[in-house]
């Protein structure tokens, strides 16, 4: 069974090797950034838990979004993950607005997380569009990775 890192342009007949390598590098870079963001957010949670005794209220939603972004790397052009991620991000924004209006509490870490997650979502979406332009579909990628 192949890993994504071991894929080459020769695995996909008729694909421009330079464009394939650019796409693969972009996907791996985005994957690394997703992991870094998750670690930073978890460190912020540990810091806040140590000072206040509670975690950031939106942590489950943020972890769900990060999971969707990570799992999308194994199923590249799946529209369901895009929809689920957008719903979760919109819920996170609405939750922040309601919390701010009801309690007056403003959590800066949450707003930063929303901005970063939208940026990561955009990067994933751009990578998926590039894959589709190259002719790499979900089924093709899964078939090659399973060999």
The 3 state secondary structure assigned to the chain is CCCHHHCCHHHCCCCCHHHHHHHHHHHHHHHHHHHHHHHHHHHHHHHHHHHHCCCCCCHHHHHHHHHHHHHHCCCCCCHHHHHHHHHHHHHHHHHHHHHHHHHCCCCHHHHHHHHHHHHHHHHHHHHHHHHHHHCCCHHHHHHHHCC
Residue 13, pLDDT score: 85
Residue 77, pLDDT score: 46
Mind listing the pLDDT tens digit of every residue in the chain (147 residues)?
A: 777 788 888 888 888 889 989 998 998 898 888 888 888 888 877 877 777 766 667 777 777 787 777 775 554 445 567 777 788 888 888 877 887 788 776 666 777 778 888 888 888 888 888 888 888 877 777 777 777
């Amino acid at each position: 069974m192949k890993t994504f890192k071991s894929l080459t342009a020769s695995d996909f007949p008729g694909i421009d090797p330079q464009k394939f390598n650019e796409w693969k590098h972009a996907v791996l870079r985005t994957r690394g950034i997703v992991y870094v963001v998750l670690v930073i957010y978890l460190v912020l949670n540990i810091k806040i838990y140590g000072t206040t005794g509670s975690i950031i209220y939106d942590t489950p939603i943020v972890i769900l979004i990060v999971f969707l972004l990570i799992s999308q790397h194994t199923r590249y052009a799946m529209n369901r993950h895009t929809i689920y991620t957008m719903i979760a991000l919109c819920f996170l924004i609405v939750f922040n607005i309601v919390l701010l209006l009801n309690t007056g509490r403003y959590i800066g870490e949450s707003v930063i997380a929303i901005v970063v997650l939208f940026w990561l979502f955009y990067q994933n979406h751009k990578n998926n569009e590039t894959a589709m332009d190259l002719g790499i579909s979900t089924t093709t990628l899964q078939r090659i990775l399973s060999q």
